[in-house]
Structure 1
Amino acid sequence: MIHELADIQIRPGSQAEFEAAIVHGMNTVIAHAKGFEGYEIRKGIETPERYLLMIRWATLEDHTVGFRQSEAFSQWRAIVGPYFAQPPVVEHFTTLPEVQKH
């Protein structure tokens, strides 16, 4: 499993609208993408215009090729993009094997 982490900064004062839009976009667009396995959204406390979107994908290619190169990506960006103060920083992560405690 791959974790996509998007660090999102939105325009000040648009939190309520963005929160409704991101949940709508996740549930109507991304949730139907091949390899999608779930998501979490975190909101900044010190910086209330900052959000972390964590999406679980079966493979890296499910996100980078299957989703990002599809029409669904354009639909997603049309829903959430108007709220961005700047383009999100997106990186991918994998989980380390569990560490044995001695």
Structure 2
Amino acid sequence: MILELADIRIHAGKNAEFDEAIARGLREVIAHAKGFQGFKVNKGIENPERYILQVFWDTLEDHTVGFRQSEAFTQWRTIVGPFFASPPVVEHFALVVKSD
């Protein structure tokens, strides 16, 4: 399993709308992508305009090719993109160890 980690910064004062938009985009778009395994979204406490999105994929290519090069990616960015104060920083990670 591959973890996509996106560090997202949104425009100040847009939290309620972004919370709804990211939940809708994940449920309606990303959740239907090939290789999708699940997601988590966390909002910063000290900096509430910062979000950490974690999306779990079967393979790196499911995200980087299958999703990012599809029409679904355009749909996703249409939903959440207007809230971004700057482009998200996205990295991928492989699991090393997990708790029971």
TM-score by length of 1: 0.95
Secondary structure of 1:25's counterpart equals: helix
Counterpart of 1:56 in structure 2 is 56
Q: Alpha-carbon deviations, 1:22-76, whole Å to 9, x = none?
A: 0000000000000000000000000000000000000000000000000000000
Distance 1:97 1:86 in 2: 32
**Residue identity (%):** 66
Counterpart of 1:84 in structure 2 is 84
The residue correspondences of 1:2-81 to structure 2 (distance < 5 A) are 2-81=2-81
Distance 1:72 1:15 in 2: 23
Q: Which amino acid aligns with 1:47?
A: N
Q: Which amino acid aligns with 1:74?
A: T
* Superposed structure 1 runs of 4+ greater than 3 Å apart: none
